[in-house]
Amino acid sequence: MLNASYFQSPCLIANFQEFKFGMTETEIIQKLQQGNEQAFKQLVGLYQKRVVNTCFGLVHNTEDAEDIAQEVFIEVFRSIQNFRADAKLSTWLYRIAVNRSLNFIRDNKRRKWFQSVDDIVRGKNASIEVISPAHSETPAAEMENRQRANILHEVIGSLPENQKTAFTLNKYEDLSYKEISEVMEMSVSSVESLIHRAKLNLQKKLYNCYKKKCF
């Protein structure tokens, strides 16, 4: 049975060296298909940070990214029997992480829409939730940097789904166009086009924001 201790980042990352020279990817897959929990621990130790980063690049919230990453690994453990050997394990993980993150975004948008409708029906004023800093006396520079990061995340989040996915995998995970094409199951030229359009859209949106003095 899986337990939450497998997903405690500090422990797993600290023990990364222990796993580094362990089983090969093929052996991990075979052991996982046999229900071996040690293989699952190694899988999490090797890929947890990358999966969390990918999820964060799409949802832009650390706690949500960690929760989604946990769901990703549970899905892998439960569906490893369906894994096709024609793809790399990392490619499969990225694909599940992207799909889980995009589903989370869609569900979150639906929840916000229904909440807005409910607020209108109840006569409440719509408001944007602002995440307060951990300390009330945050230095001005830190606040400004946080504001810029939030604006950048918001702008990236406003990109069309495929552009956002390709851009995130390239910039947050440093995947090559070929690797992204395997994750997204499309041609390399299509990935190049998506990332090019994503950059143009980001430049346009950030320039418009600059003119409006968002920063």
**How far is it, in rounded angstroms, from Cα 53 to Cα 60?**
10
The structural domains of the chain, with segments of one domain joined by +, span 1-129, 133-215
Low-confidence winner among 51-60, 73-82, 101-110, 138-147 (lowest mean pLDDT): 138-147
Distance between first and last Cα of the chain: 48
**How far is it, in rounded angstroms, from Cα 57 to Cα 163?**
12
In this structure, are residues 166 and 191 in contact, taking their beta carbons and an 8 Å threshold?
yes
DSSP string, 105-164: HHHHHHHHHHHHHHHHHHTPPP----PPPSSTT--HHHHHHHHHHHHHHHHHHTS-HHHH
User: In 3-state terms, what secondary structure has residue 50?
Assistant: helix
Q: Which helix (H) or strand (E) holds 204?
A: helix 188-211
**How far is it, in rounded angstroms, from Cα 157 to Cα 155?**
5
pTM: 0.69
| Cβ neighbours of 100 (radius 10 Å) | 22
**How far is it, in rounded angstroms, from Cα 126 to Cα 141?**
30
**How far is it, in rounded angstroms, from Cα 114 to Cα 159?**
22
The CATH classification number of 1-129 equals 1.10.1740.10
Fold matches, 1-129 and 133-215:
no
What class, spelled out in words, does domain 133-215 have in CATH? mainly alpha
- In degrees, rounded to 5, the angle at the alpha carbon of residue 58 between the alpha carbons of residues 115 and 107 is 30
**For position 80, what pLDDT does the model report?**
92
Rg (alpha carbons) of the chain, rounded to whole number: 20
Q: What pLDDT, in 10s, does the model give residues 3-20?
A: 555 555 433 433 433 344
Q: Assess whether pLDDT exceeds 80 at residue 213.
A: no
**How far is it, in rounded angstroms, from Cα 56 to Cα 168?**
9
Share of the chain above pLDDT 90, in %: 43
User: In 3-state terms, what secondary structure has residue 9?
Assistant: helix
Nearest to 69 by CA among 35, 85, 45, 36: 45
**How far is it, in rounded angstroms, from Cα 10 to Cα 67?**
15
**For position 151, what pLDDT does the model report?**
82
Q: What pLDDT, in 10s, does the model give residues 27-74?
A: 888 999 998 888 999 999 999 999 999 999 999 899 999 999 999 999
**How far is it, in rounded angstroms, from Cα 188 to Cα 176?**
9
**How far is it, in rounded angstroms, from Cα 85 to Cα 46?**
19
